Structure 1
């Protein structure tokens, strides 16, 4: 099999409005009229006027002549800083009047003239800023979450999803509790809690909006019943609760802060369940044997398939020099969790967010749902605009429906993985909509105007999140719970 590749490039851009203001500023400082400067640089004054008003981009040769005539450098002319306060106000007002919030008002924009004072401009801008603030407030929860999550994902990609300080902290805590090898037991987790001054308490009445609650006053960590299905996840919940204390977290001051804390406690729990030293040795041997498999990694440490897959993203690039991607995809094709540092092309919304987007139908993360035998991993090569990738996908089911877990690598690294011999291969041209998002012309012609689907409304999108210091958590429920259990 041979890989497929592609590439793209982008070019920087000059802020024409700011450039125009800077040229006007230096022209007036030298006492030139438009016509006088035009004569000096060899263009008509009317052409300079268009440039100063940000309506035309000058060639570099003309910029060099303007810079020479006004006694400044080209670098000074193309600076992104407005030349003075007045110019900054005019530029800011123009941008505000181009915003969607203003466009929805259907009122004419104000044309700035010399007769409008700076104070008047500042007052008008104040109204625009308040209008945009109210719009942001209305959309804060979903959009803030997407933007903050996107920024965090980019940050972790730059770090290869590897946080050495938390790795070292976990190794230290495990050693103190006497853990050396094998799956981390519930007993060892209890010892780790005791060393921090906490008892693990399993209760049936945790508020629905919480996974655990830590009573700092009485030294208790409340968890769901140990007998719940998938109770092995209780080790992770307990470790996450401890991590807040070990990492010195304070109540989050923003959604970005909340997401950062959540990432760190999840990372700490993963480091304890699959310690770095043992995990890296296991993966290095599997690579040497050309037999890397998520299921082996999972079984060796007694964790879920998803936990093993995510832990690979922490260790494999840093210690095995192997970029990779991880996808958790819901039964309708929506991306629920994602990490990639191997250039896998993924769908994005206008904010750059990936979560919630529909992944290509040709990806194994989706077509694995169609396999007759869903108890084993599905292997596939996929040719994409970003290259060829090999993937291993495991499907599962929970209360919310079907989901799939995928780990994949670029074509050249497939030789180290079990399942590389698969003949299964697909071609994805997404984000080109003709790939899988748009029906063929003949089918469209056949059914246009002859069908009327009734959409399934996802009622959760209408459900308000509880308000409080911790996003999505009802503080009243938490405090009532603690009050009830404090007496027991």
Structure 2
């Protein structure tokens, strides 16, 4: 086994400690060992590794051994603090502060040295905590999902607020127009501007000082339409949001602004009237709901989870699943057993291959919804699934209900039926015995690496936003004060 590398900083402090204990200056020690004082200074500061011959001369001059000089322990508590301070100031975290380093000389009072080291320890602790926050964020996201599930994903206060605002802005029926959204912004003292140079880390930017909401010139791929983006920016103001102080706050605010936007795009009174009529006709369908209000299939599907259980008494589940089978977003108040990790988080978990959310990728006809019954350990569920494509790949959107409630939906007559025994791995995750016997020792795949598994959550008050870029953008577009 190779020798451990020399800790140059500790070595340097041990040499300095012994030199000063003997009352030697760098010049005097240099004359004794035949080395320039400048070289010895770099050695003592951990910036130069001495040759073995110089170490031997130093050990002799200082009345110790080479082994003692190379000992891993600092020679004193003060030396240990000096080493810790030096290391902290040489690290990348300190570099982000833009501050000059403090020289840990003998003239630095011990209490000041202790306080500086304590501050650096706290900075490191907070930075380390931020790196660890993906697990915290997953827990916070799970708590939010369970809260919504307990309320049937219905937030009455936001519903009432959104309904009042769209009506005051002139909404009557059908899709919410861009002009109505602009009037809603005007009622709050804001004007909407479309620009081509939004900071890459943002979807919208609001200038609170000049009353401007900046949007891109076209919808963002993946379903973020311009109306939805504007309404989410408006929502921060009407919901009285403060700057988030934690990732949990940030996630909660995102849930609330998304909910508000959905309430405006598909106002409760008009949407419920539409859904009740379709229920009476036993012809509920996401695609009709989508087309009636001019929104994306995903927005219509999620909005149904807000309203159908609360107003129509039908429990539902909703899934957005990637073509790799990973669950991107999910909700279930109907007993569907969503896959979850040990913390209860569902994001990134693989759904069963037999579920409609994955079976739909095999169909050639992607233009219409696909229907399926699935027998699971928790009962039989009916599902309607629509697939789509973004720059990131294919995905499916599924809305479903327990067998007893399938009678209200279009597609209930489907004869497509699958059996799922997940989470039993024998269902779809464990290869057949004959395949395993043939290929287990012969297969060596190269896995695709997903860099996000190594990344910490984005930092900042608004996680992931480049503040410098945003401020430059605002300065560029702000009117002359």
Q: TM-score of the superposition, structure 2-length normalised?
A: 0.72
| 1:67-118 CA distance string (max 9 Å, x none) | xxxxxxxxxxxxxxxxxxxxxxxxxxxxxxxxxxxxxxxxxxxxxxxxxxxx
Measured after TM superposition, the shift of residue 165 of structure 1 is 0.5
Distance apart, 1:204 and its partner CA: 1.1
User: C-alpha displacement at 1:134, in angstroms?
Assistant: 8.1
Q: Residue 374 and residue 355 in structure 1: after superposition, are their counterparts in 2 closer, same or farther (change >3 A)?
A: same
Name the counterpart of 2:138.
Answer: 146
The answer as to 2:382 corresponding to 1:390 is yes
Question: Aligned partners of 2:223, 2:335: CA distance in 1, in Å?
Answer: 36
Residue 350 of structure 1 aligns to a residue whose secondary structure is coil
384, 393, 400: which is aligned to 1:408? 400
The equivalent residue for 1:117 is none
- Selected match of 1:350 from 333, 338, 342: 342
Would you say 1:327 and 2:319 are equivalent positions?
A: yes
Deviation at 1:254, TM superposition (A): 1.1
Unaligned runs of 5+ residues in structure 1 are 1-129
Deviation per residue, 1:162-221 (Å, 9 max, x gap): 001000001110111111101101111111111111111111111121110110000000
8 A Cα contact 2:285 2:409, kept in partner: yes
Structure 1 residues 135 and 433: CA distance shift in structure 2, 3 A: farther
In structure 2, distance between residues paired with 1:334 and 1:423: 26
Q: What residue number does 2:447 align with?
A: 455
Aligned ranges 1:214-225 → 2 under 5 Å: 214-225=206-217
Provide the C-alpha distance between the structure 2 equivalents of 1:278 and 1:351, rounded to a whole number of angstroms: 39
Give me the whole-angstrom Cα distance separating, in 2, the residues matched to 1:456 and 1:465.
Answer: 21
The DSSP-based 3-state class of the residue aligned with 1:261 is helix
1:156 equivalent to 2:148? Answer yes
Question: Deviations for 1:305-333, whole angstroms, at most 9, x for unmatched residues?
Answer: 00000000000110001110000001101
Specify which of 239, 243, 246 is matched with residue 238 of structure 2.
246
In the TM superposition, what is the alpha-carbon distance from 1:350 to its structure 2 partner?
A: 1.3
Aligned equivalent of 1:372, options 341, 349, 364: 364
Partner of residue 475, structure 2: 483
- Helix, strand or coil for the counterpart of 1:418? coil
Shift of 1:138: 6.3
Gaps of 5+ in 2: 1-121
Contact kept, 8 Å, 2:323 with 2:394, in 1: the verdict is: yes
The range that moved more, 438-447 or 475-484, is 475-484
Q: Size of the alignment, in residue pairs?
A: 358
- In structure 2, the partner of 1:280 is 272
Shift of 1:464: 5.1
Root-mean-square deviation over aligned CA pairs:
1.9
The structural deviation recorded for 1:459 is 2.7
Quickly say closer, same or farther: Cα 1:348–1:373, change in 2 above 3 A.
same
* CA separation of 1:465 and 1:232: change in aligned 2, threshold 3 A: closer
Greater C-alpha radius of gyration:
2
Using a 3 Å threshold, how does the CA distance of structure 1 residues 227 and 456 change in structure 2: closer, same or farther? closer
Query: What's 1:170 paired with?
Result: 162
Q: Partners of 1:480 and 1:365 in 2: how far apart?
A: 43
